[in-house]
Amino acid sequence: MDVVLVCAPTNDVLSHALDLTINALVVAGFELQRDKVQRMPPWRYLGLEIGKQTIVPQKLEIKAKIQTLADVYQLCGALNWVRPWLGLTTEDLAPLFNLLKGGEELSSPRELTPEAKNALEKVQHLMSTQQAHRCDPDLPFKFIIMGKLPHLYGVIFQWRNNIKKDQGREDPLLIIEWVFLIIEGPKE
């Protein structure tokens, strides 16, 4: 077992649940590294940094030096992992996915096109500016479908009616997660 996430509605309940979980794991014979138990934000979990209000991907190194098809697969895999938090559409990443075309060996040569370089620049910009929010248990979830066929995508969000963006620092829109259709790799 690598990682366990314990959540609760209040700090008191969380502290109690975490203590019970730790004790149960120790009794079951698991060895825990006490210094890895995170009790204060920001929490790091499965590549995410979870704050009191927001969720952002931890620093992800983008390997921009593409030389082989294997490098492209590795890059696209990493980008697929962060898409739900960055709001990257299939259309945004199409120039990179196009580099996967061709049924050649993983060692076959590849290089970034100007369009693919632009797509990577967009990714790097979004990684430094985008975030998702933690949900508000008192608000309903909403879902909207956007985009143009065949590149539809959705957003799971919540809306706080009592906040006006211009009056304060908080945004009334809480983006919980971006949802994308499965990317089918080209089989040419």
What's the pLDDT at 1?
A: 47
What's the pLDDT at 168?
A: 54
Query: Which residues of the chain, if any, have pLDDT below 70?
Result: 1-2, 59-61, 103, 164-169, 182-188
What's the pLDDT at 6?
A: 86
d(CA 36, CA 23): 15
What's the pLDDT at 172?
A: 86
The two three-digit tokens of residue 23, written as one number: 């004790």
What's the pLDDT at 17?
A: 93
- Helix-strand-coil split of the chain, %, nearest 5: 35, 20, 45
What's the pLDDT at 158?
A: 92
